[in-house]
Amino acid sequence: MNRRQIDGIVRRGGPWQAVQRGVLFAVLALFCAYYLVPLVVMISTSFKSLDEIRLGTLTSLPQAVTFEAWAKAWGSACVGVRCDGLQPYVWNSVMMVVPAVALSTFLGALNGYALTKWRFRGADVIFALILFGAFIPFQVILLPMARTLGVLGLAGTIPGLIMVHTIYGLAFTTLFFRNFFIGVSDGIVRAAQVDGASFFGIFFRIILPMSLPAIVVTLIWQFTQIWNDFLFGVAFTVGESNPVTVALNNVVNTSTGVKEYNVDMAAAIIAALPTLAVYVLAGSYFVRGLSAGAVKG
């Protein structure tokens, strides 16, 4: 239901209702603050100088705004022994996320299409097995996967990490696309078959253009998952090839020198910005796509 439809519904009036609404909004405001205060503290701290942090309180706003901490976090903070800031690791993450998201989304779409529109014997069993991947605790597969990457010669490299993320993303991407395609009329595929299109012809020319909402949801989901991943990053990459999440940990957990809270906060925000940006840019699609079963062909 959209807003206008709900607005039209007749509601009970009177003072008691007004009190109830007041309480409702107060509770919502409280939750909102609870959620947002840490972010506010992070942002304000990142703009303070170290002296100001030492003298002021946690929640006080910066007196003299400075971008030094941001510059240091981006360009010169020490990650381990290397002092180039987060910049190279952000690029590592980008190099890893883009192919991993694209591959897992494409393969998920192909799986979902084959599982729903080209029903074959055992399709349900195969889907159940793929779905099982969504429930595997990833710690379990660390050792066998490390061995596999070693055999393939991909240990400690970004391509190796791309492969791991693609494989373990398939469970979710397949699920998303399967649920979307189940709502797409089989008649369209049959019509295209009679028209003479092949398996891939129908996929690329008819089905993919129809599934924009599902593609956007899957892209956002996969991007967030893979960008934010720490476990695979720390397990399957070394030093130079670390993704930004691992580098952030190394910046924050460094045991030498003074604890630079402003740099830590700025670094954390830098690491989180891309996922925030994706939500802001494609958020409306995300909400629409989550109820994608309702999208008619």
Partner 1 sequence: MSDIRLDAIWKKFGATEVIRGIDLTIDPGEFVVLVGPSGCGKSTLLNLISGLETLSSGNIFIGGRKVNDVPPRDRDIAMVFQSYALYPTKSVRDNITFGMSVRHIPRQVQDAAVAEFAGLLHIEDYLERKPAQLSGGQRQRVAMGRALVRKPDVFLFDEPLSNLDAKLRIEMRTEIKKLHQRLGKTVVYVTHDQIEAMTLATRIAVMDAGHIRQFADPFTVYDDPVDLFVAGFMGSPPMNMIEGKLRQDGGSFVECGAPGAELRFPLPEAMARRVAGHDGLAVILGLRPETIFAAGSELPGPDRYCFELPVAVVEPTGPDTMIVFEIGGRDLIARVRPQDARPQGTRFRFEVEMRKAKLFDAASGLRL
Ramachandran class of 94: left when φ > 0, alpha when ψ lies in -120 to 50, beta otherwise: alpha
- Which of 49, 60, 66, 193 binds partner 1 (CB under 8 A)? It is 193
- C-beta closer to partner 1: residue 164 or 206: 206
Binding to partner 1 by residue 123, rule CB under 8 A? no
Three-state SS for 44-88 is HHHCCCHHHHHHCCCCCCCCCCCCHHHHHHHHCCCECCECCCCHH
User: Maximum distance among all alpha carbons in the chain?
Assistant: 76
Q: Which lies closer to partner 1 via its Cβ, residue 13 or residue 209? A: 209
Q: Name the token pair of 22.
A: 């007041």
The β-bridge partners of 82 are 79
Residue among 39, 98, 136, 191 that touches partner 1 (CB under 8 A): 191
To the nearest whole angstrom, how small is the minimum distance from the Cβ of residue 205 to partner 1?
8
Nearer to partner 1, 56 or 201 (CB): 201
The C-alpha atoms of residue 268 and residue 245 are separated, in whole angstroms, by: 9
Q: How far is the CB of 289 from partner 1 (least distance, A)?
A: 16
Q: Least distance in Å: CB of 221 to partner 1?
A: 23
Letters for 143-182 (x = contact with partner 1 by CB under 8 A, - = none) are ----------------------------------------
Q: How far apart are CA 157 and CA 161, in angstroms?
A: 7
CB neighbourhood size of 133 (10 A): 16
Q: Is 54 in the site for partner 1 (CB under 8 A)?
A: no
Q: Which residue lies nearer to partner 1 by CB, 144 or 196?
A: 196
User: Which residues touch 123 (CB under 8 Å, ≥6 apart)?
Assistant: 114, 115
Contact positions with partner 1 (CB under 8 A) in 196-215: 196-197, 201, 205-206, 209-210
Q: Which stretch binds partner 1 (CB under 8 A): 53-61, 162-170, 190-198, 251-259?
A: 190-198
The label of the residue with tokens 């379990």 reads: 140
> Smallest Cα–Cα separation from 79: which of 242, 275, 270, 236?
242
Closer residue to partner 1 in complex, CB, 199/249: 199
Specify the residue, 164 or 184, whose C-beta has the smaller distance to partner 1.
184
Smallest gap from Cβ 192 to partner 1, in A, equals 7
* Binding flag, residue 119, partner 1 (CB under 8 A): no
The whole-angstrom distance between residue 140's C-alpha and the CA centroid of its chain comes to: 22
Residue 185 is a binding residue for partner 1 (CB under 8 A): yes
Instruction: Identify the residue among 41, 188, 268, 272 touching partner 1 (CB under 8 A).
Output: 188
* Interface ranges with partner 1 (CB under 8 A): 185, 187-188, 190-197, 201, 205-206, 209-210, 296-297
